[in-house]
């Protein structure tokens, strides 16, 4: 049995203090405030979310395409998360662009071996029920019918018809507005370190890479993306271009906006994008469709994905009063509904148990959850 040291209820103290108001922090706050808890959120950046890794992300929700680079538990959590997104978005005050038009995977003929590898890895990591009806092989002709903008440009491809994407910036903004309306205490431009942790029944640390002082094995993986405005091309869904050196995706948002990404570099350097990366990303986009040559570059963005050594997410409990939600790495949007939903379930069980004077049996709790390995008491 695990003994709790949660602070007892107090009218002037929030039930939960959330450190970090990026992707996971806002989502945890939103779910807990909707569950009737008193929530305070502390974010070192502003209400727009621009200090978060979640601000620069493409926010593709692609469990099958990610299966080519991620292990089965990520794929399973991601598939569940994709189904949960519409329910999470439902109660938000402002609309958030969300679509499930699928992912298109294409390659230039000299790179065909990349497609064979991608297919093998995807099939090794994805469960049969996701693959069934989840991958359609397309001839060049069929590809043109599905994605008219690419008609005549590729000899073959795959459509993964069930995959989705959303607009990350609209989401962060709408979550901020929703939290405000719901009466959460919002402390923007407030950095929290180990010396000024706020008083609350339970503390949930969602600081991404900012949690490294207390999670030493956390590391940043640099990612660079370009935002462009390209009227007239009209891609209907995210497209992944396989390439041995420069695999890229192009994710269309509303109003002819496209996010081209992303590099993945073992570095925590947050300095501006290199010329090399800009050339690689933009050349690959140009090779997908020459009309991207006329696009206007709006932003060249950089941030670091918060990753643990095994590249798996964690909901970590210190056995006292702190939960840490981290390690979302390159799948934050894909995994966030499942991971933050599980973190909220644990938070509610801990707070409910403390109020009733009960202790939580940690092993029984874990064993009863869909992804027990998500829950840890140490980083290892
Ligand atoms: C280039 C790029 C592309 C990506 N594309 C995708 C994609 O297509 N699909 C997908 O699923 N995922 C994608 N991701 C991954 C996703 O963005 C991350 O997994 C996700 O943002 C991590 O969420 P988080 O809440 O843990 O961290 P963050 O979103 O970084 O939020 C952490 C927050 O904590 C705040 N903070 C830090 N330190 C402190 C402190 N001391 N006090 C107070 N606040 C603090 C930060 O300001 C930040 O707002 C991408 C990431 C990058 C970088």
Question: Does the CB atom of residue 313 touch ligand 1 within 6 A?
Answer: no
Q: How are beta strands 39-42 and 16-19 bridged, if at all?
A: parallel
For the domain spanning 3-55+168-218+310-377, the CATH number is 3.50.50.60
Amino acid 1: pLDDT: 45
Q: Is 224 left (phi over 0), alpha (psi -120 to 50) or beta?
A: beta
Distance 40 CA to ligand 1 centre (A): 19
Q: What is the DSSP code string of 41-99?
A: EE-SS-TT-TTSHHHH---EE-HHHHHTTS-HHHHHHHHHHHHHHHHHHHT-SS---EE
The CATH 3.30.9.10 portion of the chain extends over 99-165+221-303
**pLDDT tens digits, one per residue of 246-262:** 889 999 999 999 999 99
Cα–Cα distance measured from residue 6 to residue 354, given in angstroms and rounded to the nearest whole number: 7
Q: Where in the chain is the domain with CATH 3.50.50.60?
A: 3-55+168-218+310-377
- Ligand 1 contact, 82 CB (< 6 A): no
CATH superfamily of 99-165+221-303: D-Amino Acid Oxidase, subunit A, domain 2 (3.30.9.10)
* pLDDT at res. 358: 83
234-244 pLDDT, tens per residue? 999 999 999 99
- Ligand 1: distance of its center to the CA of 31 in Å? 18
Whether the CA torsion 182, 25, 347, 320 is positive or negative: it is negative
Question: Is residue 249 within 6 Å of ligand 1 at its C-beta?
Answer: no
Provide the angle, in degrees to the nearest 10, between the axes of the packed helices 23-34 and 332-355. 40
Q: Tens of pLDDT along 149-183?
A: 999 999 999 999 999 999 999 999 999 999 999 99
Evaluate the CA torsion angle 190, 262, 249, 280 in order and state its sign: positive
Residue 156: burial class (beta carbons within 10 Å; 0-12, 13-18, 19+): middle
All residue ranges of the chain with pLDDT < 70 are 1-11, 380
Q: What is the pLDDT of residue 6?
A: 58
Q: What is the pLDDT of residue 195?
A: 95
The pLDDT of residue 21 is 98
> How confident is the model at residue 316, as a pLDDT?
97
pLDDT computed for residue 160 by the predictor: 98
Note the pLDDT of residue 9.
Answer: 56
- The pLDDT of residue 378: 76
Helix (H, G, I), strand (E, B) or coil at 195: coil
Distance 154 CA to ligand 1 centre (A): 34
Q: Is residue 235 within 6 Å of ligand 1 at its C-beta?
A: no
């Amino acid at each position: 049995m695990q003994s709790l040291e949660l602070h007892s209820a107090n009218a002037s103290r929030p039930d939960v203090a959330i450190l970090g108001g990026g992707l996971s922090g806002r989502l945890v706050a939103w779910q807990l405030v909707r569950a009737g808890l008193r929530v305070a959120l502390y974010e070192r950046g502003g209400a727009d979310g621009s200090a978060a890794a979640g601000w620069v992300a493409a926010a593709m929700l692609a469990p099958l395409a990610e299966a080519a680079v991620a292990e089965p538990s990520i794929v399973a959590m991601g598939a569940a998360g994709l189904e949960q997104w519409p329910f999470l978005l439902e109660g938000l005050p402002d609309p958030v662009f969300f679509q499930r038009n699928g992912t298109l995977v294409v390659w230039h003929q000299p790179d065909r071996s990349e497609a064979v590898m991608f297919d093998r890895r995807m099939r090794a990591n994805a469960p049969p029920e996701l693959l069934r009806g989840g991958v359609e092989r397309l001839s060049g002709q069929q590809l043109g019918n599905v994605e008219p903008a690419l008609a005549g440009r590729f000899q073959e491809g795959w459509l993964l018809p069930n995959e989705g994407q959303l607009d990350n910036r609209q989401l962060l903004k709408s979550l901020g507005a929703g939290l405000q309306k719901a009466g959460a205490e919002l402390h923007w431009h407030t950095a929290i370190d180990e010396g000024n942790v706020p008083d609350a029944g339970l503390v949930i640390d969602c600081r991404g890479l900012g949690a490294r002082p207390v999670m030493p094995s956390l590391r940043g993986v640099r990612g660079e993306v370009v935002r462009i405005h390209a009227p007239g091309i009209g891609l209907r869904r995210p497209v992944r271009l396989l390439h041995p050196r420069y695999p890229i995706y192009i994710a269309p948002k509303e109003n002819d906006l496209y996010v081209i990404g992303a590099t993945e570099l073992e570095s925590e350097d947050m300095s501006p994008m290199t010329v090399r990366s800009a050339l690689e990303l933009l050349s690959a986009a140009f090779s997908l469709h020459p009309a991207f040559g006329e696009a206007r570059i709006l932003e060249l963005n950089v941030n670091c994905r918060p990753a643990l050594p095994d590249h798996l997410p964690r909901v970590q409990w210190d056995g006292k009063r702190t939960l840490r939600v981290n390690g979302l790495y390159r799948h934050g949007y894909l995994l966030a509904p499942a991971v933050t939903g599980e973190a909220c379930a644990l938070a509610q069980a801990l707070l409910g148990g403390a109020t009733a004077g009960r202790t939580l049996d940690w092993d029984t709790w874990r064993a009863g959850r869909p992804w027990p390995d998500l829950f840890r008491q140490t980083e290892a």
